[in-house]
Structure 1
Amino acid sequence: MDAAKLGFEPDTVIQELGWDDDVDDALRAAVETVSGNQLVDGEVGLVVDGVILWWRDGDGDLADALMDALQDLVEGGSIWLLTPKVGRPGYVSGADIGEAAPVAGMSTTTTSSATDDWAATKLSTHKR
């Protein structure tokens, strides 16, 4: 698992939202290794450099979740939206992501395979 290829960087604080039993622990560990810090949850109240949002179909309104994920994110920070791949339980279509991102004031920058079961879509805030 190479978290650096997904765009994670050293000396950053990454918040994790949407954790459940189905997340990929190897990816979580790789992000912690690259960032040099443990993942923080939504209760911390820190300003964070990035957010990992695990999201599955049926979790609710994606645009609302993205707006909530922006709460602690530093300006210019990114959200990595991790969704189950095609054919996996909880699969989220690219169209759903494409609709939700602009509503939250974000744009999709890249989508790639994160693990065997999860895809990663990197979202960025619009420049102000």
Structure 2
Amino acid sequence: MPKMGKFYLKMLKFYERSVFQVLSKNSIMQRSHITKTVEDLCSTKVSFRQANPEVAKRISEAFGKKEIMEIQKGVSYGANEVRDGVNLSSHIKQKNIVSASELQNLKNFEAYIKLAENFPITKMKFKFLKL
């Protein structure tokens, strides 16, 4: 496994791309830092349905996060109409672009794709071609 990272770095010189079917099999070897290094070198990511919740969570985090602004409304009623009031507050929250549960609930031939650079993450459905 240590040679895998060096191998992949050499492959990048020639613009070759690799596909890692199950990253958890790499982690079984107790060298998760090497798995993360290899995972970081793959700028294009494709994920089909994930059965393992830990792998789904890790891939969800690899797809990135987005910031959303949540507005909360609070209404208070007093004994008199003068005491009634509405309170609005907002805060910015980070949320995964693709949740782990979305990765686990994909149908057959569906996948999320994250391309290199600044392209949006896309959910795609592939056709099965019988040859």
Q: TM-score, normalised by structure 2?
A: 0.24
Q: For the pair shown, which has the larger CA radius of gyration, 1 or 2? A: 2
Greater per-residue helix proportion:
2
